[in-house]
Amino acid sequence: MNFFDLILLPFKWIVSAVLWVFHELFTLIGADPTSGLTWVLCIVGLTLVMRTLTIPLFLKQIKSMRGMQELQPEMAKLQAKYKGKKDQLSRQAMAEEQMALYKEHGSNPFAACLPIIVQMPIFFALFQVLRSVPQAAQNNEAIHLLTPEMVHQFNESTIFGAPLFSTLMQPGNGNHAATIILALVMIVAMSATQFITQRQLTARNMSDSAKESPMYRQQQMMLYLFPIIFAIGGINFPLGVLVYWTVSNLWSMGQQWWVIRNNPTKGSQAERELNERRAAKGLPPVGMTKKEHEEKLVEQRERAAAGQRTQPVSKKRQKQQSKKNNG
Amino acid sequence: MTARVTPEQLLAQAPHEYCLPGGVLRTLTRVPQNVCIALLKLYRAIVSPLYGDVCRYFPSCSAYALEAFTVHGAVRGLGLTVSRLLRCHPWAAGGIDRVPAGGREFPSPAATPKIVLLNHPNLARESTHDCPARHGAAQGANAR
């Protein structure tokens, strides 16, 4: 057993335990233990459990991403300041100022990858457990908490005639048409949810200043590239894994929508929408108390009532004007 | 004022990090420090480029360690390095984290080892004509 497997072992155990609990639960309430639908529901249950557990990580990631977006204009200034300075000391000075900037905004790009790193073993464990099912069934083995009998049921279960462990490239000995259609539907669903998730983040939840940065253009490109990569990778996943990913992406989309709706970035489209909704309910805009908001409104009204500001007049002209009026 | 040098020249002419005092006994006591400096320089030459910039601090952990050993000697250097490595974990916020002042003193930028120059870039840039004084003033915190 190598180091990688050793790290994954506890995660794989947890994945098998969650699957086992859901399977027992569904059997208890009268579902057919061998039915493909039961096993699909087990995978869906597993997804929901995993995503619920990683909500705090998601929030951290969102916060960090937002910080990165907000510091883009300052970062561009910094890059302009050191433009053309290629010597090592200048590079070091730039690195230092960048680090100070990250710290100030509380978002370090090297810290931002943490949520992804933490989610990695969970996904790998799940992927390995699901992938090892056909092999384990052949050898009549258990997978951690899943008994050999359960592994057999899991391996042989079908959904609409398509084996859960067939892939688009290797449809196995079930209903090939069903496998292909199911895989395609899920690949499209995955790509679409991924696309929508990314799009609502960039289009609705970025401040206008962040939209003018080169990073925004890069993200725009990612927006169109990612679903393509996803679709290409998706053909090699077994249907069971595709179910996990699709549900997971749907969850992400919902999570994203909720966060953007209720806690948008400052100066973004979503914040304007939130403030409109709040105004309709008679609430002050976010980040302002009712009193502050009223004071601001009164001030605005007074300014509007006062009409056009009188232009300042030089002393010379003042005299001339007063003479004209008197004479 | 002596003739000013460019940052590149300053770096190229910087003395090495090793601590070589006169006398047999004093040289012997400096062996652990110099061995550690040599190992760190080797690591920075071979392993660091493979990773690229990954540290969440400035200076990076290996740059910090090299400066700590160069300036503070083997015992304090080791202590400082271990404490920095413990601070550099996935939950740390990162930022600027310098080696504390003290230990070896360097009379002028020209007599300062390369790693100290690299870890205090504005101090070094101030002493060259490349960098106007306002630059140094803005980064006053950079001075050790």
pLDDT digits (tens, 9 = 90+) for A207-225: 666 666 555 666 677 677 7
- Chain A residues whose beta carbon lies within 8 Å of the beta carbon of residue B127: none
Q: Is the pLDDT of residue B133 over 50?
A: no
Cβ contacts of A34 within 8 Å, gap of 6 or more: A153, A156, A157
Does a cis peptide bond (omega within 30 degrees of 0) precede residue A238?
no
Residue-level pLDDT at A6: 84
**pLDDT average, residue stretch A160-165:** 85
**pLDDT average, residue stretch B7-14:** 83
**pLDDT average, residue stretch B26-48:** 91
Angle at the Cα of A168 from the Cα atoms of A166 and A169, rounded to 5 degrees: 100
% of chain A with per-residue pLDDT over 70: 88
A100: number of Cβ within 10 Å: 16
- pTM of this structure: 0.61
Q: Is the pLDDT of residue A43 over 50?
A: yes
Output the six-digit token pair for A58: 């998601």
Residue-level pLDDT at B68: 95
Higher pLDDT, A175 or B97: B97
- Chain A residues whose beta carbon lies within 8 Å of the beta carbon of residue B64: none
Q: For chain A, where are the E strands, in sequence order?
A: 158-159, 162-163
If we measure between CA atoms, which residue out of B39, B124, B4 comes closest to residue A91?
B124
Residue found under tokens 């061998």 = A34
Residue-by-residue DSSP string for A139-173: HT--BTTB-HHHHHHHHH-EETTEETT-BSS--TT
Alpha-carbon gap, residue B97 to B88, rounded angstroms? 10
Residue-level pLDDT at B38: 95
Question: Ramachandran region of residue B15, left (φ > 0), alpha (ψ -120 to 50) or beta?
Answer: beta
Enumerate chain B positions whose Cβ falls within 8 A of a Cβ in A. Answer: 6-8, 10-11, 53-58, 90-96, 117-119, 121-122, 124-125, 128, 130, 139, 142
- Chain A residues whose beta carbon lies within 8 Å of the beta carbon of residue B6: 87
Choose the weakest-confidence range: A51-55, A147-151, B90-94: B90-94
User: pLDDT tens, A103-131?
Assistant: 888 777 666 556 566 667 877 888 888 87
Residue-level pLDDT at B66: 95
Residue-level pLDDT at A317: 80
Angle at the Cα of B103 from the Cα atoms of B102 and B108, rounded to 5 degrees: 85
Cβ contacts of A256 within 8 Å, gap of 6 or more: A197, A200, A201
Residue-level pLDDT at B1: 46
- ipTM of the shown complex: 0.78
* CA separation, residue A218 to residues A161, A213, A228, A289 (Å): 42, 9, 16, 37
DSSP character for A201?
A: I
* Interface test with chain A among B125, B128, B134, B135, by most A beta carbons within 10 Å: B125
Under the banding of pLDDT at 50, 70 and 90, the label for residue A242 is confident
**pLDDT average, residue stretch B108-116:** 88
Domain boundaries, chain A: 3-73+97-263, 268-304
Q: Is the pLDDT of residue B4 over 50?
A: yes
Instruction: Report chain A's mean pLDDT, rounded to a whole number.
Output: 81
With CB atoms and an 8 Å threshold, state whether B7 touches A92. Answer: no
**pLDDT average, residue stretch A158-184:** 83
Q: Is residue A238 within 8 Å of A131, Cβ to Cβ?
A: yes
Instruction: Report chain B's mean pLDDT, rounded to a whole number.
Output: 82
Residue found under tokens 């007049």 = A313
DSSP character for A200?
A: I
**pLDDT average, residue stretch B11-40:** 89
With CB atoms and an 8 Å threshold, state whether B58 touches A106. Answer: no
* Interface test with chain A among B48, B96, B135, by most A beta carbons within 10 Å: B96
Query: Distance from CA of residue A21 to its chain's centroid?
Result: 28
DSSP-derived pairing of the beta strands B95-96 and B57-58:
parallel
A114 in contact with B, Cβ within 8 Å:
yes
Coil vs helix vs strand at A301: helix
Under the banding of pLDDT at 50, 70 and 90, the label for residue A183 is confident
User: pLDDT tens, B113-123?
Assistant: 999 999 998 88
Output the six-digit token pair for B87: 């601070």
Residue-level pLDDT at A116: 61
B138: number of Cβ within 10 Å: 11
- Chain A residues whose beta carbon lies within 8 Å of the beta carbon of residue B121: 89-90, 92-93, 96
Residue found under tokens 């990073």 = A215
- Chain A residues whose beta carbon lies within 8 Å of the beta carbon of residue B93: 103, 106, 108, 111
Coil vs helix vs strand at A20: helix
Residue-level pLDDT at A22: 93
Give the chain B residue nearest A101 (alpha carbons): B95
Coil vs helix vs strand at B1: coil
A2 in contact with B, Cβ within 8 Å:
no
Long-range contacts of A265-268 (CB under 8 A, 24+ apart): A265/A66, A265/A69, A265/A70, A265/A205, A265/A206, A265/A207, A266/A70, A266/A207, A267/A207, A267/A208, A267/A209, A268/A204, A268/A205, A268/A206, A268/A207, A268/A208
Residue-level pLDDT at B138: 39
Q: Is residue B67 within 8 Å of B115, Cβ to Cβ?
A: yes
DSSP character for A295?
A: H
* CA separation, residue A15 to residues A20, A86, A178, A191, B99 (Å): 9, 50, 27, 25, 44
Coil vs helix vs strand at A238: strand
* Interface test with chain B among A81, A87, A94, by most B beta carbons within 10 Å: A87
**pLDDT average, residue stretch A183-195:** 86
Under the banding of pLDDT at 50, 70 and 90, the label for residue B143 is very low
Alpha-carbon gap, residue A280 to A277, rounded angstroms? 5
A90 in contact with B, Cβ within 8 Å:
yes
DSSP character for B120?
A: S
User: pLDDT tens, A80-108?
Assistant: 888 888 888 888 898 899 888 888 887 77
- Chain B residues whose beta carbon lies within 8 Å of the beta carbon of residue A89: 7, 10-11, 117-118, 121, 124-125, 128
Q: Is the pLDDT of residue B142 over 60?
A: no
Q: Is the pLDDT of residue A276 over 80?
A: yes
Alpha-carbon gap, residue A237 to A272, rounded angstroms? 41
A48: number of Cβ within 10 Å: 15
* Interface test with chain A among B58, B91, B114, B128, by most A beta carbons within 10 Å: B58
Residue-level pLDDT at B12: 85
